[in-house]
Structure 1
Amino acid sequence: MSYKAMESTAAPLYPIREVSRLTGVNSVTLRAWERRYGLIRPQRTPKGHRLYARDDIERVERILQWLNRGVPVSQVRELLDQPETVETPAPQMGDWSSQRQHVIHAVDALDMGRLETLFNQSLALYPVGLCIAELWQPTIQQLEERWGDQFGATLQRRLLETFLRTRIGTRLYHANQTNSGGELLIARLPDDSSGFWAMLMALAASAVGYRIQLIDGEVALSELPMAVDRLGVKAVLLASGQAERSDLVRRQLPRLAEQSDVPVCLVGPVARIRVSDFENTEVAVLGEDTTQALSRLRSIVDNED
């Protein structure tokens, strides 16, 4: 039985922005699923604007279920179009491992054109949160583990850092114009010179509707209360891929959290490495996984409201 969008004029229809809000899938990805793979077929207004029925939204949710189970997007349509009475076979493993190796090879070769293609393709074909969790976060972890003191490591790190800062910064700028969620202040901690974790968290939070103020560089913790007051943010997220200094972890961050009018949260590997140091403090440890961190953040921000 082939898929057909609901045509009843009595049924409610939703614009693409509302579907993006309801499902967590950005509009660029929804359009890519339609144009490249025929996964969804929304109706159109006389002016060409997309309108989605409830059936379309449920189909998007089923697409996400398959993607989250590791099925490549190119194989999803065949699974969706199978009759419901036929037992669906277990999905094959996705190609995330292969994609991670492609990114690493592009970084090794300093092939910025290839890196650009891989970045754009991944975010066009999969939800942002899934891309970060399965591709960009583990790839950066793997790169950081192998870089060490090897020749060329500094150049590779800085080029990747500059690449992600530019691409993610552009996405944040445009998303901030339309996102209606609360505003977050995201910054890196002093020992994390690259800022990878702050950038990935900013991208993930933006994709679920938050407006982001990303501080691109080191900032004194003593100045953050002024930023909170002037910017009117809902929470402060501090990220690091390093263990950070003991004095900062055990004294400065807890003191900042006590004095702050909004939640002060910790994300990235530092949240795993130093979790025991923040017991009995007001610092909210969100964890290393961006998806789990966003879930915990949402509950914290909602309680504040």
Structure 2
Amino acid sequence: MDPHSDLTHTAMYTASEVESRTGVPATTLRQWERRYGFPRPVRNANGYRLYSPEDVTEIGRMQSHLLMGVSAGRAAELTLAGIDPHPVTPGTGPNTLRLVADLTTALLDSDLARGHALLGEAHAHLPVEDVLTQVISPTLIEIGARWERGEITVTHEHQATAFLRSRLNALMDAADSPGAPGPLVVAACAPGERHELGLMMLTLALRRRGVRVAFVGADSPLGDLGVYARQRGAAAVALGLQGDWALPGTRAQRADLDDLGLPVFLGGALVDAWPELADELRGTYAGPDAATAADIIVRALGRAGGDRQEDT
């Protein structure tokens, strides 16, 4: 018998060690164990779960499927079958303009099954962040434009937004590593801003880069946000402003973040159209899309970490 084969089945990792290696919280591991029959930990003398290298491999495979947008049930089936996610080959992706048009039509026709299928097609061929920037964002822009032109009702827009929010929530949860070490970014919509999806995309992009993000959502008073960021020991604040309706409250409350001494990164459609607004609000413009913003924030946090190490 191959001794290395025995080692792959030897229970040797605690739940916290598996969480550190894979980024999957221990609570999620227990849910997968109950629902899907894996991983298959054994109990030590004290009753604690111990995981084998094979378990760790399966956990990583499940996580990879989820990050590509595969539903949890299907991801479990693929994992148990030993099927890895298909690598993305440049130049072989679908026609994203066609995907955007078809997804827009499906959502406005309330054909959510078709919407799921189209996003599944996108995730099967494109990296997650390309799905965000080339499919989901343009779809949201097109739906918003149709509402502004009076071609659809606000109910149509709300249903489409709710569908896309649910998909983004699933991806955010799959990428979350709440117990992981490293800096924490607090992500919030500015006062008066209720459009969350752009901020959700940034949260997802940051989590995929190993950054912990506390997503606090819509219409956040900056005084409360400052208290929260201080209590959580945050390293930065990311603030989303999509329209000019968010500007009066942000201008009036911006001083509430000054005492934190933290970098404030600003993004969203309003700041994209008016980048100099970031200087006025004593922040840093994070860039025109989630992937770019995440890269800018990660680089800034890295420099800040280096500065702190030099000071100690």
Q: State yes or no: 1:72 paired with 2:96.
A: no
Quick one: distance in 1 between partners of 2:167 and 2:68?
Answer: 20
Gaps of 5+ in 2: 5-20, 24-62, 70-79, 306-312
Deviation, structure 1 residue 117: 2.1
Give the counterpart letter for 1:207 in structure 2: R
Q: Contact 1:182–1:234 at 8 Å: present in 2 too?
A: yes
Give the length in aligned residue pairs: 239
Q: Deviations over 1:40-67 (max 9, x none)?
A: xxxxxxx99899xxxxxxx96xx56x2x
Quick one: distance in 1 between partners of 2:235 and 2:177?
Answer: 17
Q: Contact 1:128–1:207 at 8 Å: present in 2 too?
A: no
Q: State yes or no: 1:169 paired with 2:200.
A: no
Q: Contact 1:188–1:197 at 8 Å: present in 2 too?
A: no
Quick one: distance in 1 between partners of 2:282 and 2:104?
Answer: 38
The 5 Å alignment of 1:104-183 reads 104-148=104-148, 150=150, 152-177=152-177, 180=180, 182-183=183-184
Which residue of structure 2 aligns with residue 268 of structure 1?
268
Q: Secondary structure at the match of 1:275?
A: coil
CA-atom RMSD in angstroms? 3.6
Which residue of structure 2 aligns with residue 185 of structure 1?
186
TM-score by length of 1: 0.66
Which residue of structure 2 aligns with residue 241 of structure 1?
242
Q: Deviations over 1:14-54 (max 9, x none)?
A: xx969xxxxxxx7228999xxxxxxxxxxxxxx99899xxx
Give the counterpart letter for 1:296 in structure 2: I
Quick one: distance in 2 between partners of 1:102 and 1:146?
Answer: 15
Which residue of structure 2 aligns with residue 197 of structure 1?
198
Which residue of structure 2 aligns with residue 79 of structure 1?
none
Deviation, structure 1 residue 280: 6.3
Q: Structure 1 residues 184 and 120 mapped into 2: Cα distance closer, same or farther (>3 Å)?
A: farther
Give the counterpart letter for 1:28 in structure 2: H
Deviation, structure 1 residue 220: 0.9
Q: Deviations over 1:231-263 (max 9, x none)?
A: 23322111132134543454533x244222322
Which residue of structure 1 aligns with residue 227 of structure 2?
226
Q: Secondary structure at the match of 1:130?
A: helix
Quick one: distance in 1 between partners of 2:304 and 2:282?
Answer: 13
TM-score by length of 2: 0.65
Give the counterpart letter for 1:27 in structure 2: S
Deviation, structure 1 residue 224: 0.7
Gaps of 5+ in 1: 1-8, 10-15, 19-25, 33-46, 52-58, 74-93
Deviation, structure 1 residue 139: 1.8
Quick one: distance in 2 between partners of 1:162 and 1:145?
Answer: 17
Quick one: distance in 2 between partners of 1:233 and 1:160?
Answer: 33
Quick one: distance in 2 between partners of 1:205 and 1:300?
Answer: 13
Out of 286-295 and 144-153, give the one that drifted further: 144-153
Q: Secondary structure at the match of 1:287?
A: coil
Deviation, structure 1 residue 131: 1.2
Which residue of structure 2 aligns with residue 284 of structure 1?
284
